[in-house]
Structure 1
Amino acid sequence: MQVKTEAIVFSALKYGEADLIVKAFTKSNGLKSYLLRNILKSKKGRLRVAMFQPLMQLEIEATHKDKGTLESIREAKVITHYQSLHTQLSKSAIVFFVSDMLRTVIQEEEENSRLYTYLSVTTLWLDENTDIANFHLLFLVKLTGYLGFYPDDTEVEHDYFNLLDGTFEPSETNLYCRTGNSVSILKELLGINFDELSNLKLNQQQRSEFLNMLLQYYELHLHGFKKPRSLAVLNSIFS
Structure 2
Amino acid sequence: MRSKSEAIVLHHFEYSDRAWIARVFTRTHGYLSFIVRKSGKNKHQSLIQSGTLLELEFTFRENQDLHQISEMRRAVPWVSVTESITKSTQVLFLCEVLFRSLEIGYTNKDLFDFIWLAFSYLDQCDEYPDFHLYFMIRLSGHLGFFPQNAQDPEAAYFDLENGMFTTARPIHPLHLEPELAAVLRQLIERKVQQDHPPLKASYRRSALHALVDYFKLHVSGIKEVNSQLVLETIFHD
> Is TM (by shorter chain) over 0.5?
yes
TM-score interval, normalised by the smaller of the two chains: over 0.9
TM-score (norm 2): 0.93
Following superposition, the deviation at residue 154 of structure 1 comes to: 5.5
Matched, 1:87 2:83: yes
- Structure 1 residue runs of 5 or longer lacking an equivalent are none
8 A Cα contact 2:36 2:44, kept in partner: no
Following superposition, the deviation at residue 207 of structure 1 comes to: 0.9
* Aligned counterpart in structure 1 of residue 223 of structure 2, from 213, 223, 226: 226
**CA displacement 1:54-99 (0-9 Å, x = unmatched):** 1111111111123241111000121101111122111111111011
Matched, 1:237 2:231: no
Matched, 1:214 2:211: yes
Q: What is the count of residue pairs matched by the alignment?
A: 234
> 4+ residue runs of structure 1 moved beyond 4 angstroms?
none
* Residue correspondence of structure 1 range 1-239 to structure 2 within 5 A: 1-37=1-37, 39=38, 41-43=39-41, 48-107=44-103, 109-153=105-149, 155-157=151-153, 158-175=155-172, 176-196=174-194, 198-239=195-236
8 A Cα contact 1:23 1:34, kept in partner: yes
Which range moves more in the overlay, 109-118 or 90-99?
A: 109-118
8 A Cα contact 1:3 1:64, kept in partner: yes
Q: Aligned partners of 1:215, 1:104: CA distance in 2, in Å?
A: 12
Q: Aligned partners of 1:181, 1:19: CA distance in 2, in Å?
A: 49
Q: Secondary structure at the match of 1:140?
A: helix
Following superposition, the deviation at residue 155 of structure 1 comes to: 4.7
TM-score (norm 1): 0.92
Which range moves more in the overlay, 199-208 or 20-29?
A: 199-208
Q: Secondary structure at the match of 1:199?
A: coil
Following superposition, the deviation at residue 211 of structure 1 comes to: 1.0
Q: Aligned partners of 2:141, 2:116: CA distance in 1, in Å?
A: 16
Following superposition, the deviation at residue 200 of structure 1 comes to: 3.8
Identity of aligned residues (%): 27
Following superposition, the deviation at residue 163 of structure 1 comes to: 0.8
Tell me which amino acid in the other structure corresponds to 2:58: A
Which range moves more in the overlay, 97-106 or 149-158?
A: 149-158
- Structure 2 residue runs of 5 or longer lacking an equivalent are none
What do you get for the CA RMSD once the two structures are aligned?
1.7
Which range moves more in the overlay, 19-28 or 63-72?
A: 63-72
Following superposition, the deviation at residue 195 of structure 1 comes to: 1.8
